[in-house]
Amino acid sequence: MAIRTRFAPSPTGYMHIGNLRTALYAYLVARKDPEGVFILRIEDTDQGRLVEGATDIIYDTLKSCGLHHDEGPDVGGEYGPYVQSERVKEGLYLKYAKELIKLGGAHYCFCDQEKIDEQRKEAGDSFKYTDPCTSLSLEEAEQRVANGEKYVIRQTIPSEGTTSFDDEVFGRITVDNSTLDESVLIKSDGFPTYNFANVIDDHLMGITDVVRGMEYLSSTPKYNLIYEAFGWDIPRYIHCPPVMKDEHNKLSKRNGDASFQDLMTKGYLPEAVLNYIALLGWSPEEDREVFTVDELVQAFNVKHIGTNGSIFDPEKLTWLNGVWLRNMDLDTYYETVKEKIDEAVKGNFDKKSIAAIIQPRANTLQDIPPMLGFFDSFPAYDNSLYNNKKMKTNPEVALEALKPAYDLLSKHDDWSQEALHTALMELPKQLGKKNGQVLFPLRLAITGMQSTPGGAIEIAAILGKEETLRRLQLSIEQLEK
RNA sequence: GGCGUGUUGGUGAAGCGGCUUAACACACCGCCCUCUCAAGGCGGCAUUCACGGGUUCAAAUCCCGUACAGGCUACCA
């Protein structure tokens, strides 16, 4: 039987990294099977928490990550509808809830909130609701429903015994039924709760492998009781540990900058983000860290998902993003950073050469513009910058190097980087100086910057003869004052 | 409070009873390369696996307890 997994977010805001990771893992589990199917289902049963536009964010995020779903609200499929609120309209959950009642797995409950609160107050800390409606006869309950009394449908839990299941990552989990509470399955507004809808839908959609966060670990036994009451097959469970912001806090939608969208605007690549989050909580068998999504499909193994929560580390993401950027061939790199270069450099320079000098230096797209300011404007700088211990330079040494450099360059016509290189590398020898004593001042003289991406030769080549000489001239005058 | 889960360096982690004097990666620190800054190369960085007991010839690895963390305990998901 082909594996079917689903990603089932509720449209209550943007996608944060923990969510995305769950989607990734569900995707990988499905793709691992050549016949596997990955489904997107929208869980919008909490009408009060819906956020406008949230579903679009989900579509967009999955799309830009390359996590294509085979079935879903936007692409269709044989098991639709894929939006729970639409399924409610079909009366689907209520139908199954009533069947579950007949099977003894659920019951009508007429208790109002005050009654429950009262019991909670009395019980203090160790509260577990004891529902008096459990003992109502079905006839009586149905009569009251027919009379128009407000009701919910609650799960009926056996008072004795234990329920166990095997989780693929956490192993065997066993709980006493007596600790399980009889949660609401159908709310008084007629909508199912997550507790019920996810079981019904997972079964109806033929989900074989349930991939979700471990916050559901402790309610899974309740879900299994429902599966069992219906006589349905229980899926494989893959519960994932949380992604944390720091030692104490899970990543959260509020005051978090770890949404996928945020990371994009911070200049990270979707590929790098996917790669990074795959590594949060999962480790490959081989000693390697750089993976494309397709490569992850090959390498992924549920058995290597860890059991402890992991802290999202922006520094490592930044490094990995840099690796992705550096691994690109120059044409691809140029295409991806073109926009950033254009943003920072308006002058008529060869942008591809600029791309070449920043490629080993930028870890995120955002790093790029601040590096390039000196192209458009020649910044004012102080002569003291020529003092450099390591380079063994000072203003005098600089002047001794810059004047002959000017003479040489003004007579030099082949402005290719190679030609400039050969010409300028001769100069230190002729002057009896070290390379750094000539090239360091030269770079400073034409950029006004203490440090720049690229060296004097590379930058001179990009600036062009006219601009290079112009700046050099200005710097020499400044030194001679 | 109850129930369930987890705890290897600053971070991600490997390890699943002897091969571990605890991989690898990020960060950090050195050195090398070098016209700056990066990139790259090399090396350093946990005498110890939350703590305390126990089992065993042998434990980070198994068991128990304690501490701590986060999860569930909603007509949220």
Report the pLDDT value the prediction gives residue A132, as an integer from 0 to 100.
78
Q: Of the candidates A319, A352, A321, which has an alpha carbon nearest to the alpha carbon of residue A335? A: A352
In this predicted model, what pLDDT tens digit does every residue of A425-471 receive, in sequence order?
Answer: 999 999 999 999 999 999 999 999 999 999 999 999 999 999 999 99
Length of chain A: 481
B7 nearest neighbour residue (CA to C1'): A308
| DSSP conformation class of A71 | B
Q: Give nearest nucleotide to A425 (CA–C1').
A: B35
How long is the CA A328 to C1' B52 vector, in angstroms? Answer: 53
**How many Cβ atoms from other residues are within 10 Å of residue A141's Cβ?**
19
Q: Give nearest nucleotide to A193 (CA–C1').
A: B75
> The sheet that has A152-155: what strands, in order across it?
A106-109, A152-155, A184-186
- String of DSSP letters for A377-425: S-----GGGG-BTTTTB-HHHHHHHHHHHHHHHHH----SHHHHHHHHH
Q: Give nearest nucleotide to A367 (CA–C1').
A: B38
The two three-digit tokens of residue A69, written as one number: 């779903």
Mean of pLDDT values over A129-135:
79
Q: Which of A98, A250, A253, A338 is catalytic?
A: A253
Is the separation of the CB atoms in A309 and A244 below 8 Å? yes
B23 nearest neighbour residue (CA to C1'): A287
How long is the CA A31 to C1' B18 vector, in angstroms? Answer: 39
ipTM, interface predicted TM-score of the complex: 0.95
Task: Give φ, ψ of A328 to 5 degrees.
Answer: -75, 150
Least confident range from A23-27, A62-66, A178-182, A311-315: namely A178-182
Q: Give nearest nucleotide to A111 (CA–C1').
A: B75
B8 nearest neighbour residue (CA to C1'): A308
- Residue A39 forms beta bridges with which residues? A6, A71
Q: Give nearest nucleotide to A284 (CA–C1').
A: B14
With b for 16 or more beta-carbon neighbours within 10 A and e for fewer, the A276-315 pattern comes to: bbbbbbbebeeeeeebebeebbebbebeebeeebbebeee
How long is the CA A286 to C1' B25 vector, in angstroms? Answer: 12
B4 nearest neighbour residue (CA to C1'): A218
Report the pLDDT value the prediction gives residue A329, as an integer from 0 to 100.
96
The answer to whether residue A346 is catalytic is: no
Average pLDDT taken over every residue of chain A: 93
How far apart CA A439 and CA A413 sit, in angstroms, is 19
Mean of pLDDT values over A404-413:
95
Q: What type of residue sits at position A338?
A: K
Question: Which bases of strand B have any atom within 7 Å of the beta carbon of a protein residue?
Answer: 1-8, 10-15, 23-27, 34-40, 69-77
- String of DSSP letters for A248-296: S-B--STT---BHHHHHHTT--HHHHHHHHHHSSB--SSS-----HHHH
How long is the CA A302 to C1' B8 vector, in angstroms? Answer: 21
In this predicted model, what pLDDT tens digit does every residue of A360-390 receive, in sequence order?
Answer: 999 999 999 999 999 999 999 999 999 998 8
In this predicted model, what pLDDT tens digit does every residue of A52-98 receive, in sequence order?
Answer: 899 999 999 999 999 999 999 999 999 979 999 999 999 999 999 99
How long is the CA A87 to C1' B70 vector, in angstroms? Answer: 34
Report the pLDDT value the prediction gives residue A255, as an integer from 0 to 100.
56
How long is the CA A176 to C1' B58 vector, in angstroms? Answer: 37
The C-alpha angle with vertex A265 and arms to A336 and A329, in degrees rounded to 5, equals 20
CA dihedral A122, A124, A129, A131 (to 10 degrees): -10
Is the separation of the CB atoms in A378 and A422 below 8 Å? no
B38 nearest neighbour residue (CA to C1'): A361
Report the pLDDT value the prediction gives residue A136, as an integer from 0 to 100.
84
In this predicted model, what pLDDT tens digit does every residue of A277-301 receive, in sequence order?
Answer: 999 999 999 999 999 999 999 999 9
Does A310 have pLDDT greater than 70? yes
How far apart CA A274 and CA A278 sit, in angstroms, is 6
How far apart CA A264 and CA A272 sit, in angstroms, is 10
